Homo-oligomer: A and B are copies of this chain.
């Protein structure tokens, strides 16, 4: 309420801020993060470049805002896709989330590159981003949790050296899941983005043609690896 009613001044500020982000997002989608120019954004909005610094203290701050929005957009897309199959089995839900990630990446390549490609220049992930960044991960953890309600099949035992780390990760991420599952989950989480990145960044050129089918199969096997399937 205070955010909307607190004066016309504040409202105008919000609107201009949103307009700047929108135009910046347009340029980001069109030409990539490297060619995003504060001056061009200002020009397109009919203001002078120095005026823009009242809203974002630097170009990197603008990019950081776009990064957070991108994480949120990706997370919202994944959550929406998950919601549509909320009643299905774990594997189906898992692949739905994975395919939502892939779909979002293909639809927003430059934004994906911004958050999962190389961090722009000096790469510092402010703590503000971690909440937005973990939405997809939380979704995947939730699916694994639901699948492990009953006494699941025993995973291959962890090597002795990994056990402390696996238990630490489990305690941090999902105390109700066995460390073997959490370890597999974290690995699958990273591997998912390997698949998406390779397709998006052209590494699959002249290698994989029917990428959608290939991806669906690969993430299905990922789901099996995490132990989401009935039998192993």
Binding site for B on A (CB under 8 A): 31-35, 110, 113-114, 116-123, 125, 130, 133, 158-159, 161-162, 164-165, 168-169, 172-173, 183-184, 186-187, 189-195, 197-199, 201-210, 213-214, 217-218, 221, 225
**A118-B118, A217-B162 known; A168-B198 Cβ under 8 A:** no
Q: Are A193 and B187 neighbours in the complex by a CB distance under 8 Å?
A: no
Measured between beta carbons, the chain B residues less than 8 angstroms from A187 are: 195, 214, 217-218, 221
How many monomers of this protein are in the complex? 2
A121 interface neighbour in B31, B189, B203, Cβ under 8 Å: B31
Measured between beta carbons, the chain B residues less than 8 angstroms from A122 are: 32
Which residue on B lies nearest to A32, using beta carbons? B121
11 new A-B contacts at CB < 8 Å, known A191-B195, A191-B218: A32-B123, A34-B34, A113-B118, A133-B203, A162-B214, A183-B214, A189-B198, A190-B191, A190-B194, A190-B204, A191-B191
What 3 A-B pairs have minimum CB-CB distances, sorted nearest first? A194-B194, A117-B118, A113-B118
